Copies of this chain bind each other. A is one copy, B any other.
């Protein structure tokens, strides 16, 4: 089969690779129907994370089951399935608590920008749809496997409630966070964005206000819009020290920040967090917990997070997908084998 391999910053190649095989009785192999490039893939692509030896890339996927191991009975060959970037057995203590992204047998997916993918813990990770979905739903279901699930978690971690005010960014996860905040009943959704196309999508998803200022000016604008005290909920979907600082200062005392961008060189000062009285929760989203609900919301047309894909490429042009996103010419690139 063929798949993406990263060699160095800026150097992603599409190559012949060994076909994945069932290694454990809990594995499945799927034929990829759609995959994509994640904002977090850009960290190594930009040289902000070590790459080491050349290795495959990608952790977002929907596909059709090709083969399953002996212990996989929830799904069977031929079914269309949605999974998560973090696999889970769905039976350990953390899974039973609803924190499947901290499953005691978790493996992070990392080979999904390819024709076929081996899914560890397939039994507890994959959720099959009723029949094969119409092609129009595929982007939305693909989004559910990561960015929409992550935006949903960010909104829950930020404790978005009916009537509350939420602040979000304009990346793919942030835009899905707008959807989540809207679905969870936020009355006011403030999108931080200076890109016209992203502003438009944020408004379409339910944003009520757009702020184009950043940093201290952005914080001041949020305060202006929230009676001087800050927002109830802030979704931090980037992972830089500056984005975390902006998030913490945009939330009101007693408010919450949900942070879902993997933090890169972020230190939170204990005394500052203390006096802010802001609640902080982050992490890899427990997407598996939300899959049945989010799949249903997509297939009933209630939400359409597939709109965050503003570029569709054949899988063999995966390098172009990275490049376009790196240059911020696309929000998110969908790849079709």
Contacts and interface: CB of A to CB of B under 8 A. Distances in A.
Contacts of A267: 267-270
This chain's copy number in the assembly? 2
A250 interface: no
Nearest to A264: B271
Contacts of A279: 157, 279-281
Given A94-B252, A252-B94, A253-B97, A277 B282 contact: yes
Contacts of A254: 94, 97-99, 102, 286
A266 B271 contact: yes
Interface residues of A, number: 42
A277 B269 contact: no
A164 to B, nearest CB: 11
A228 interface: yes
Contacts of A283: 253, 274-277
Residue among A157, A241, A273 facing the most chain B CB atoms (10 A cut-off) = A273
Interface in A101-123: 101-102, 104
A337 interface: no
A99 B274 contact: no
A263 interface: yes
Contacts of A253: 94, 97, 99, 101-102, 283
Residue among A264, A269, A276, A279 facing the most chain B CB atoms (10 A cut-off) = A279
A227 interface: yes
Contacts of A284: 274-275, 277
Contact of A274 (B93, B241, B282): B282
Interface in A241-272: 241, 244, 252-254, 259, 262-271
Given A93-B229, A97-B254, A263 B271 contact: yes
14 contacts: A93-B252, A94-B252, A99-B254, A99-B277, A101-B277, A104-B228, A253-B283, A262-B271, A268-B270, A275-B283, A277-B281, A277-B283, A279-B280, A280-B281
